[in-house]
Structure formats: structure tokens, C-alpha cells
Chain A
Amino acid sequence: MGMTMTQKILAKHAGLDKVEVGQLIEAKLDLVLGNDITTPVAITEFEKAGFTQVFDKDKIAIVLDHYTPCKDIKSAQLCKQAREFAHKHHITNFFDVGQMGVEHALLPEKGLCAPGEIIVGADSHTCTYGALGAFSTGIGSTDMAAGMATGLLWFKVPAAIKVTLKGKLQPHVSGKDVILHLIGEIGVDGALYQSLEFAGEGVSSLTMDDRFTISNMAIEAGGKNGIFPVDEKTMEYINGRVNRPCEAFQADPDAEYVREVVIDLNKLEPTVAMPHLPENTKVVSEVAGLPINQVVIGSCTNGRIQDLRIAAAIMKGKKVADNVRCVVIPATQEIVLQAMKEGLIQDFIEAGAAVSTPTCGPCLGGHMGVMAEGERTVSTTNRNFVGRMGHVTSEIILASPAVAAASAIAGCVADPRKLS
């Protein structure tokens, strides 16, 4: 029996010719990531265990993005601890306010993730880099400490679900709709302990930003990772960003999958996830008109330039409804600059939206858009759990940038295809 993309990458990094589903292996890491919430806990464990050196100062990335620019004294203390550790160990890829962006948008942009690599991060959305044909997965802080000390980590070789994409996305439909639809199909534990392997002729029509969004939310189906094959678009993206040799792994024709899910992109409609689970999906037309208080456009899921272009195209020359606060958060400084050059920032501000420096902020109820009792937000972020963005009675509807922008203008959940 052949191997999947994920299994091949794991085998290579474990120094093995072949791995089997369920096998426990120890693999070499190409990058270990942490943020301002998870890194301090990792540092405390690292030091408590008596470790004194990191395995490779060039293969650790620390990004202060969740509560930054710091929202309060306690979060400032956490950033201080991470900053001092980064300086002490001469961590090359340390990103502080001014350079930082939302980690999963930032790392690919900086060329820190490449096809065939293993990247682990103390943040569940580390699975984003599967879009580049890498094996990447979320870990906790103790794993991060172990990874920083040894450059190695244990993994259980996952079984795989094959997600075959056919056709081409229609106007106002994007990667977010693909992944929300998939989570609605298989459920929030549909890929538990498994990898999602994307395949089929539909892949080639997806932009890299679509693929980042799709891989990003693999965790919302319980997936260990969500990986795309490497093609011309991948190579075009990494060209000029990645200056080291990398390897594109292809699934064997006889690779084994526990199931196959086929998605016809032609038929996909703008899709939303209703409170309080990402699997509670509906086609947007089913819930159009539902009143809202806030719209958030940003995050590691949908804060990239394509997302801002889609939202700005809908909002340009229009006004955010009186009953709605709209917060737009480009995910990195490079994206902010590009959006400025293209006039998108001006479009948002003239429409009455607030535009913020990069931060994870509201996605996790940190700052920059926390909800009060009984409020409802349409958000391009990734989780709509109880209390995730604020008060325990507040509600989140997960949506694409097109749906979010249309909703901001309409003042209620809206179908972007229906806007004049």
C-alpha cells in the first residue's frame, strides 16, 4: 500500500522509508512556532526542565500577535518574557510590534514555510501551511518547549481523508466557503486524529490565499493537518520568498484513505456557520436578514490581500449600516502596505469601517472588537464557540469576506450575490 503526502513527509523526517497508520514516530522539525500566549508557558517549562540552549536559533519563530499591541499589563508581562527569551537565545525569527503580523499569514510571507517541511506551532491554526504542501500542525506549550530544546517531536502517523475538488468557484464564493462546507459535511470531529488531503482538478483554480484559508480551518474538523499538492501556483508563491532547497511530495496512486469527500466547486454557494459550532453551516440565503451588531474582517483565516480586495470591492462607495461596527484588520504589515497602495484602506475608512494594525485581537475575544451581552458578529475568523469573542451570550456567525462585507453594508446577514 502506498503513502499519502502527509505520511511521506513524516517518513522522510523520521529517517524511514515507510510508515504505517498508527505508528508512533519521532520526526525532525524544520520550524517551531509560538505566540505571546503560548510561548511564555513554553519558556517557563523549558527553564523549569533545566534546558539551557535551543536546538537551532534559526528554526524557531516567536510572533507576538494575540494581545498585541499589548492590551493590558498582564499581556505586556507575557510579551516581555517572550522578548527577553528571544534576545537571550538570539532567536532569528522574532517578530515584535512593528514587524509582526498574524502568525499564520506572516510565516509563509517571510518564506519560513516550504513544501515538504515539518512545521509545528503552539497555536492550533498552524495547520495553515499545508497550503504550501508542508506538514504542519498545532501543538501545546510543553511540546513547543521540547521542540525548541531538541528539534524533535513524537507523532502518531495519521490516516487520511481525501477531499477531491471538482470544477471552479463561482463569483462571490471563495476558500472560506469550501472549508465551511466541508466542516458542515464531516462535522467538527469528522477528521479527528486524521489528515485532510486535498486533491482533484479543482485545486488548480484555487488561489494560494484560498488554499491558506482552507488549510487553516482543517483543525475545525478535528484534523491533524490539511495539505494541498504542490503546483505552479505554490512555486510562484514561494519564488523569491524561500531560498533553500525544498521537496514536493505527491501521494502514491495506491495511497489509502479512510474515506473520500467530493466537493463540486461549481455548485458551492456562499456558506456561513451559525452559533456555536463551525459545523452548523447554512447557505447564506437561508439566514439572510438576521440582525447583527458587528462585522470583523481579518485573522489568520481571512486577513490576506485577496480577502481585503474582495471586501473592499463590495464596500467601496457604500456606507457601513448605522447599526453595525465594522473592524478590518489586515493580517501583516506587508498586507497593510499593499492595501494602502491599492487604495483599499481608503475604501474601508470612507465606508465607515475601523482599520487596525495587525493583531489576532477580536478573534479570541482579546481586544479590538469584544462583544457585549446578546450581541452578534459576522466574522471572517475561524471559531464561533460560546463566549469566544466576548460575553457568554454573544453570538458569532462565521463567513467569507464577501458575506462579511455585504452584511456590514446591509446591516444584517446578507448574500453578496444580491447586492446591487
Chain B
Amino acid sequence: MKVYKYGANVDTDVIIPARHLNDPSPAALASHCMEDIDAQFASTVQPGDIIVAGPNFGCGSSREHAPLAIKSCGVKCVIAPSFARIFYRNAINIGFPIVECPQAAEEIQPGDEVDVDFSTGIITDATQGKTWQAAPFPEFIEGIIKSGGLLNSLKERGVAK
């Protein structure tokens, strides 16, 4: 699974520019994903590929369209040292994996073959022959992910009308 690597503070405006938010269908969002930072991304990304980035990934607008666009491209996960908090919530809420691991985010290079085992949090870079251990999610958040997102977890708990 190939790696696309970006710098610090990748904002949700470049992940999915607002001019494309008038069509929130997953296919439309995917076709414009990362357009203003990497014009080739949407046409070259393959299911299972991974985005690696610098700190504060997903800063800016609260648009859930951003993790949705990345997820809809078939991207397996995003690895970064830190995520902007609304992006972090949104990713978990829609069941899209994000992985906090400063060392892996720094050392992984563009084009490396990388895989992540979500059950153990182990990140493996086959190109470099290295592995890293990502920070685990708190139990509460792990529960949301296991339910398949926030709304499923609420339904399981029977808290909504």
C-alpha cells in the first residue's frame, strides 16, 4: 500500500475545497480530494493507500466532507503526529481510522510500502524494514470505532428516540 506524504497543517480546505461542498455524495467528494495540495492525488490513489502527514492534520473548517472524501478514495488511514480536534472527532464518528504516531509520520517516506494493523497499532514500513507502535485509543473511543461509528454506538445504547 503506497504512501502519499504531506507537510504540517494540512487544512480541510485543501483536502476538499469549499467550491465542491455543494455535492456531498461520496463519489463527488472523492473525485476532488486533495485537489488544491496535490492535483494528481484523486486520479492516482488506489484503495488501501495511506496518507502520512505532519502535525495538526485536518485543521480549519469542521466539514465532515474532509474525512469522508479521503475515506471515499479508499484510503486505509491517515498517520500523523497530531490531528486537529474536529477532524479527529469526525474521523472516529464516521469510522475512518486515524493513527497518531510522531515517529512513523516523520520517518515514513513518500512511495514507501506501509501497512497498519489496527488491532495491535503496529505500523510496518516494508520499504525501510521498520516498525512503530501507535498510541492506542481510549476505551470509550475504541467502543465507538468497534460499533462502526457514533450513531451505531448510540443506537446500541438505545439513547435516541
Whether A188 touches B36, Cβ cut-off 8 Å, given contacts A50-B155, A193-B85, A224-B85, is no
Determine which of B18, B56, B68 lies in contact with A192 in the assembled complex, contact meaning CB atoms within 8 Å: B56
* A142/B90 in contact, CB under 8 A: yes
What's the least CB distance linking A347 to chain B, in Å?
31
Determine which of B13, B61, B138, B151 lies in contact with A49 in the assembled complex, contact meaning CB atoms within 8 Å: B151
Tell yes or no: A94 within 8 A of B by CB: no
- In the assembled complex, the Cα of A342 lies from the Cα of B6 at a distance in Å of 49
- In the assembled complex, the Cα of A50 lies from the Cα of B21 at a distance in Å of 25
Tell yes or no: A167 within 8 A of B by CB: no
What's the least CB distance linking A144 to chain B, in Å?
9
Q: Of A38-46, A243-251, A328-336, A398-406, which stretch is located at the interface?
A: A38-46
* A387/B17 in contact, CB under 8 A: yes
* A75/B155 in contact, CB under 8 A: no
Q: How many residues of B contact A (CB 8 A)?
A: 43
Nearest B residue to A154 by beta-carbon distance? B140
- Return chain B residues, CB-CB under 8 Å to A146: 93, 150-151, 154, 160
- In the assembled complex, the Cα of A392 lies from the Cα of B38 at a distance in Å of 11
What's the least CB distance linking B108 to chain A, in Å?
20
Tell yes or no: A226 within 8 A of B by CB: no
- In the assembled complex, the Cα of A51 lies from the Cα of B18 at a distance in Å of 28
- In the assembled complex, the Cα of A38 lies from the Cα of B154 at a distance in Å of 20
* A38/B22 in contact, CB under 8 A: no
- In the assembled complex, the Cα of A383 lies from the Cα of B55 at a distance in Å of 18
Looking at B21, B63, B149, the one whose CB has the most chain A CB atoms below 10 A away is B21
- Return chain B residues, CB-CB under 8 Å to A145: 151
- Return chain A residues, CB-CB under 8 Å to B59: 188-189, 222
Chain A residues 40-84 with CB under 8 Å of chain B are 40-41, 44-46, 48-53, 55, 66-67, 71-72, 74-75, 78
* A41/B86 in contact, CB under 8 A: no
- In the assembled complex, the Cα of A150 lies from the Cα of B59 at a distance in Å of 27
- Return chain B residues, CB-CB under 8 Å to A287: none
What's the least CB distance linking A119 to chain B, in Å?
14
Tell yes or no: A326 within 8 A of B by CB: no
Determine which of B14, B24, B68, B82 lies in contact with A386 in the assembled complex, contact meaning CB atoms within 8 Å: B14
Nearest B residue to A367 by beta-carbon distance? B19
Whether A140 touches B93, Cβ cut-off 8 Å, given contacts A150-B159, A188-B59, A386-B37, is yes
- Return chain B residues, CB-CB under 8 Å to A162: none
Interface mask (A88-104 → B, CB under 8 Å = 1, otherwise 0)? 00000000000000000
Chain A residues 188-205 with CB under 8 Å of chain B are 188-189, 192-193
Tell yes or no: B94 within 8 A of A by CB: yes
- In the assembled complex, the Cα of A139 lies from the Cα of B62 at a distance in Å of 6
Interface mask (B51-70 → A, CB under 8 Å = 1, otherwise 0)? 00001100111111100100
- In the assembled complex, the Cα of A78 lies from the Cα of B25 at a distance in Å of 11
* A189/B56 in contact, CB under 8 A: yes
- Return chain B residues, CB-CB under 8 Å to A44: 24
What's the least CB distance linking B30 to chain A, in Å?
15
* B150/A74 in contact, CB under 8 A: no
Tell yes or no: B42 within 8 A of A by CB: no
Looking at A52, A141, A145, A366, the one whose CB has the most chain B CB atoms below 10 A away is A141
- Return chain A residues, CB-CB under 8 Å to B36: 386-387, 392
- Return chain B residues, CB-CB under 8 Å to A277: 9
* A386/B22 in contact, CB under 8 A: no
Looking at A124, A140, A150, A364, the one whose CB has the most chain B CB atoms below 10 A away is A140
Whether A74 touches B22, Cβ cut-off 8 Å, given contacts A55-B161, A139-B89, is yes
- Return chain A residues, CB-CB under 8 Å to B154: 49, 146, 149-150
* B86/A140 in contact, CB under 8 A: yes
Determine which of A66, A122, A149 lies in contact with B161 in the assembled complex, contact meaning CB atoms within 8 Å: A149
Tell yes or no: A265 within 8 A of B by CB: no
- In the assembled complex, the Cα of A200 lies from the Cα of B61 at a distance in Å of 30
* A189/B151 in contact, CB under 8 A: no
Tell yes or no: B115 within 8 A of A by CB: no
Tell yes or no: A112 within 8 A of B by CB: no
Determine which of B9, B17, B56, B90 lies in contact with A140 in the assembled complex, contact meaning CB atoms within 8 Å: B90
7 contacts between A and B (CB under 8 A): A49-B151, A55-B161, A142-B94, A143-B90, A146-B154, A370-B19, A385-B13
Beyond known contacts A45-B151, A366-B18: 13 more, CB 8 A cutoff: A24-B138, A40-B24, A49-B155, A126-B62, A141-B90, A146-B150, A149-B161, A188-B56, A189-B56, A192-B84, A370-B19, A385-B11, A388-B13
A residues sitting closer than 8 Å to B (CB atoms) are 24, 37-38, 40-41, 44-46, 48-53, 55, 66-67, 71-72, 74-75, 78, 121-124, 126, 138-143, 145-146, 149-150, 152, 154, 188-189, 192-193, 219, 222, 224, 277, 364-366, 370, 383, 385-388, 392
The 3 closest A-B pairs by CB, nearest first: A140-B90, A74-B22, A140-B64
